Every structure is written in C-alpha cells, then in structure tokens.
Structure 1
C-alpha cells in the first residue's frame, strides 16, 4: 500500500504595501502675546491692540460655535479684551497704552501708566474666568499716537531727505513709536534731529507700506 502524500504548508501571503496607521495631527496652540503682540501695528499686538492698533474682535454676539474656528475660551478672551480696550480708551486716555492677549494663560495683559482707579476697574471688565495682568508703561497710546501722526505727516519730507519711511507703529506696551525705514543709519541720525528726545525706535524695514501724499 502506497504511503499517503505529504501536504506542504501553503506559503503566507505578504502584502507589498501594508496599510499604514494614520497618526493624529498634532494640536496647534496659538499665543496672542506681542508681542505680537505685532504685532503689531499702531498700538496693537496680538489679538487686540490699543489706540490706533489692530482692531479688536467685536465683543458682541453669542459665544463661538463649534464651527466658528474659535474655542469658547478664546472667544471669551476676545470679548473681554474688547470691553477693556474700548473702556480704557474712552475713560483713561492719559494712562492706557494697549493690551496683549496671552491665550495659553487665558490672560489679558494691560499696559498702562499707573492708576489705582484704572486697575480697580479691570476685574469687572474682564469678567468670567479671564485673568487680567496690569503692567507699567512709560507712555500712553494717545501720546504715542500723536508722535506717530507727526512722523506719518512727514513722510514726503523724509523722502526728499533720502529716507524712505516704510512703516509707523505704536507699540502696545507704551514704550515707543516704531519707525521702519530702508536707510537705517541715515534715519537714526536725522530723525532725532527733527523730533528731539521723542521715544522712537527706528528699525530696518524694506517693504514700502506708506507713500507720500
């Protein structure tokens, strides 16, 4: 009697390109600190600026919906920042310099010249779970805005002097008016001769944002 045939195991099937597991996209955290803050043009850095700065997000309206692109916490920060910005511009123009929204810390940083009355008004303006952090500023946004307006009015004059002014920005921390120019060395020599000891920070900036006239 013949022996039974031996069965050979069937070879395993190997997929040339096995399916890959998709990794979840990393969470992206955005910060509103000017720090900008720049972020900031004309006394506004980050989400909300001071006088003459980036216009704040309107404070009115319902909380952010799931499809609005903003979390409820971020929307609350924006609304609180807007209330503070508008109130201080109107009621404390000699003290208020600007604000910066620090989203990761749920904090609104308020730059101001010291005023006990201003500081006392901040918690009620912020509301909710928003933290407010007052910080000292050497100048108000109103005073720096006057200086910035003067520089802007002189753009045509400076072009005749070989200095191209490309940007003018009031810093939200109340430290200076930032002036951008292509001719850095010449501007740093000539602008103080015209504006004296005014708080100007002259930086090199190539894009032409402002034109004479």
Structure 2
C-alpha cells in the first residue's frame, strides 16, 4: 500500500495557446536608418533591451521552456516561442516593460533541441558510413523541431526515425553539401601580414 499526504506538486503550465504583453495595446511607428542610400529597419532601443533580457533569462533560467525569439521590425514587436511555463510567462511579462511581445507555444524548448542537435552531430560519421549524408543540423527558433538538411530526404526520413524513434523532433529538408562562397575579390578580413 502506498500513501502520501496531499496532492503531488505539479508545476504550473502557464497560458496555453499564446498571449501578448500589455505593450501590444499601443501602436508604434517602425524605425529605420539610411545606410549607403538604402533604408533599413531598426529595432527600437526599448524593444532591443526587452529582447536581450528575455533571451538571456530564457537561455539560463528558463532553458527547458525557452525555444527562441524573432523580431518583427515592421510591427515593432518580438515573438517569443516557449513551452508553456507560468514562471517564464511571469518573467516575460515583467521583462517586456511597455514593449509589445507576442508569446507563442513551442513543442520543444531550446535545451531539448540542443541535446538532440549534439546527439545527431556526434552520429554524423555513422550516418555517412550508412550512405546518409547530413549537410546541416539546425534547431528551429520556433521550437517545432530540429531541421536536418540532407540531399536524400526520403532515405533520411526512413532511417533516422528508426534509430531515434518516431517521436524524435526531426524535420527533413533537401539540402546539398555546404559549399564555401566563391571569392568576391574583396577580403572580408585582413589577410595574414596586413
């Protein structure tokens, strides 16, 4: 017989489906800068600071929840992707101050996708020996999964889930080997000796 006092402690999930911060109630004009005769969008300083706070805390204090962030400069807002978490939601709400942050659900957090990334990267030689060439491995910032770039999507889609399980967060995209860019004639960094 098993007994216990009280109910098991279950962490608060947070709002499911997404939400926005109070700063989204205000309209903002996009900012831009002219460089070399071209106009480029610029992230306003308050939004840039909020993004920095959220990204830093997401990577350190809320890494099981945080998946990534994107900036929508045209609408002067950021979009944070996270596995629902009440604690991280509270942090985002406070860190946003008066900026507009859209918060969206993610299936996987950055930490879990990084673990999958490292596992697949370590297995690249074994996959090459089996005739499956992996060109790129990249965690999606929206927490949907891990993109596996390969020239043979069908073979990879068949073989990798056999190794890692059908529920592995793998997204297959057709991608050939990474090729260095041809020289532009203009060095990107000073050459050795000057």
TM band (smaller chain): 0.5 to 0.7
Say which one has the larger Rg.
Answer: 1
- Equivalent residue, structure 2, for 1:97: 67
1:135 offset after TM fit, Å?
Answer: 0.7
Find the aligned partners of 1:207 and 1:105 in 2 and give their Cα distance.
36
Find the aligned partners of 1:101 and 1:108 in 2 and give their Cα distance.
4
Decide which of 166, 169, 174 is 2:138's aligned counterpart: 169
1:126 offset after TM fit, Å?
Answer: 2.3
1:71 offset after TM fit, Å?
Answer: 6.4
1:118 offset after TM fit, Å?
Answer: 1.3
- Aligned with 2:148: secondary structure? strand
2:140·2:147 contact (CA, 8 Å) conserved in 1? Answer: yes
- Equivalent residue, structure 1, for 2:190: none
RMSD across aligned positions (CA)? 2.4
Find the aligned partners of 2:33 and 2:76 in 1 and give their Cα distance.
19
**Cα deviation digits, residues 24-73 of structure 1 (max 9, x gap):** xxxxxxxxxxxxxxxxxxxxxxxxxxxxxxxxxxxxxxxx9987x87664
- Equivalent residue, structure 2, for 1:108: 78
Runs of 5+ unmatched residues, structure 2: 1-31, 180-194
Find the aligned partners of 2:134 and 2:96 in 1 and give their Cα distance.
38
Query: What's the TM-score, normalizing by structure 1?
Result: 0.61
Decide which of 54, 58, 72 is 1:88's aligned counterpart: 58
- Equivalent residue, structure 2, for 1:154: 123
Q: Which runs of 4+ in 1 moved over 4 A?
A: 64-67, 69-73
1:178·1:203 contact (CA, 8 Å) conserved in 2? Answer: yes
- Aligned with 1:179: secondary structure? strand
Cα 1:115–1:149 change in 2 (3 A) is same
1:95·1:114 contact (CA, 8 Å) conserved in 2? Answer: yes
Find the aligned partners of 2:151 and 2:110 in 1 and give their Cα distance.
26
Cα 1:105–1:193 change in 2 (3 A) is same
- Equivalent residue, structure 1, for 2:111: 142
Runs of 5+ unmatched residues, structure 1: 1-63
Query: What's the TM-score, normalizing by structure 2?
Result: 0.67
Decide which of 83, 89, 94 is 1:119's aligned counterpart: 89
- Aligned with 1:165: secondary structure? coil
Find the aligned partners of 1:71 and 1:180 in 2 and give their Cα distance.
30
Find the aligned partners of 1:177 and 1:124 in 2 and give their Cα distance.
30
Find the aligned partners of 1:71 and 1:163 in 2 and give their Cα distance.
41
